[in-house]
Structures are given as structure tokens and as C-alpha cells.
Amino acid sequence: MTIEDVIKKSILPLAFMVFWFWMTKTIMKVSGQTDWFWWVFIAGLPFGIHKMRLIL
């Protein structure tokens, strides 16, 4: 596995997930508090509803 493969297959997806979770948490703040139910729902959409059932 080359360094390019490592970057493409592990680092970039992880960076996207961290950015996505941070962005949705910022958006879901209501009155200074995060609505955790909706945050889990919105943050999990790109990863599939079938996987979200395991979390909820």
C-alpha cells in the first residue's frame, strides 16, 4: 500500500467525518445547547439509515 492509498482510503474519509460531525453539531445548537437526537440523525445520514439503527 502506497502513501497515496493510505491518504485516499483512511485519512481523507476520517477528515471528512470529523468535519461533517463538527458542522452538524454547530448547526444543531439551539439556545447554546446541542439537540443530540437530531444531531445523531443528521450526522448519520451520509453513512446510511441502516447503520444508524444500531446507534439509536
Instruction: Return the pLDDT at 15.
Output: 92
Cell numbers describing residue 18: 470529523
- How far is it, in rounded angstroms, from Cα 22 to Cα 10? 18
- How far is it, in rounded angstroms, from Cα 11 to Cα 2? 13
Instruction: Return the pLDDT at 1.
Output: 78
Instruction: Return the pLDDT at 29.
Output: 83
Instruction: Return the pLDDT at 32.
Output: 82
If you ran DSSP here, which 8-state letter would residue 7 be given? Answer: I
Write the pLDDT tens digit of every residue in 1-56. 799 998 888 999 889 989 988 998 888 887 788 888 888 888 877 777 666 566 55
User: According to the 3-state scheme, what is the secondary structure of 18-31?
Assistant: HHHHHHHHHHCEEC
